[in-house]
Amino acid sequence: MSSDVPYHHGDLPTALVNAAMELLEENGGADLSLRAVARRAGVSTAAPYRHFPDRNALLSAVAAVGYTELAKDLAAACADPMTADDLATIAVAYVRFALTRPGLFRVMFAEGCDTESPDRVAAVAAIHQYLDYIVKRAVPGADPEPMATATWALVHGLAFLHLDGKLDSSADSVVDGTVRGAVRAVLASRAAGS
């Protein structure tokens, strides 16, 4: 919604989060301030403060939406993970999410957020539960909690290495090959050490 259109939406917090998401899609969050979000939503610059006391509170709400969308993308990549290859497919989906939505991904993981935000805490817990579930099914015999942490650390690191230009992101096939290769290498070394 442009700033020259009067605001008549009944759900200002959602409108503000949506405006923030739009700004992230457009410019990666370079100007993601409450003032910029208010302008995008077509409300006064004071209006966001009725629902978000500061930028971190808004970022927490945006991050919660991001975690929910990430979870949907991961589940869509492989609805019923059973194997190490399925785990690699989900890892690829994670990295692709980061590459296609870099502003949102950085808000989710590189910005200070309110750790007391119930929506953000619930969304993060859902991601943790999903990862534990995947590991239990795809890597039987592994201690699920440390394996889930190690897998997330690996894939998350790959996402940021690609985002920051440290790994080749020139084509989806290149990214997919790098991510699948790394996941397979770690799982193969685990199997060899068993």
- Could you report the average pLDDT of every consecutive run of 10 residues in the chain (194 residues)? 50 93 83 88 91 89 92 92 93 97 90 77 85 89 89 95 96 97 87 63
57 assigned to some structural domain: no
What pLDDT was estimated at residue 152?
A: 92
What pLDDT was estimated at residue 3?
A: 45
Cα gap 151→133, rounded to integer Å: 12
23 class by beta-carbon count within 10 Å (0-12 exposed, 13-18 middle, 19+ buried): buried
What pLDDT was estimated at residue 175?
A: 97
Query: Is residue 83 domain-shared with residue 163, that is, in the same domain?
Result: yes
Alpha helices in 34-110 (DSSP H): 34-41, 55-77, 84-100, 102-110
- Here the CATH number for the domain that contains residue 44 is 1.10.10
Query: Is residue 19 domain-shared with residue 91, that is, in the same domain?
Result: no
Cα gap 135→96, rounded to integer Å: 20
147 assigned to some structural domain: yes
Query: Is residue 48 domain-shared with residue 68, that is, in the same domain?
Result: no
Domain boundary among 15, 31, 52: 52
Query: Is residue 116 domain-shared with residue 95, that is, in the same domain?
Result: yes
pLDDT digits (tens, 9 = 90+) for 19-48: 999 999 888 766 688 999 999 999 999 999
Distances (CA, A) of 35 to 44, 56, 102: 8, 13, 21
Domain residue limits at 12:
1-52
How many domains is the chain built from? Answer: 2
What pLDDT was estimated at residue 9?
A: 55
155 assigned to some structural domain: yes
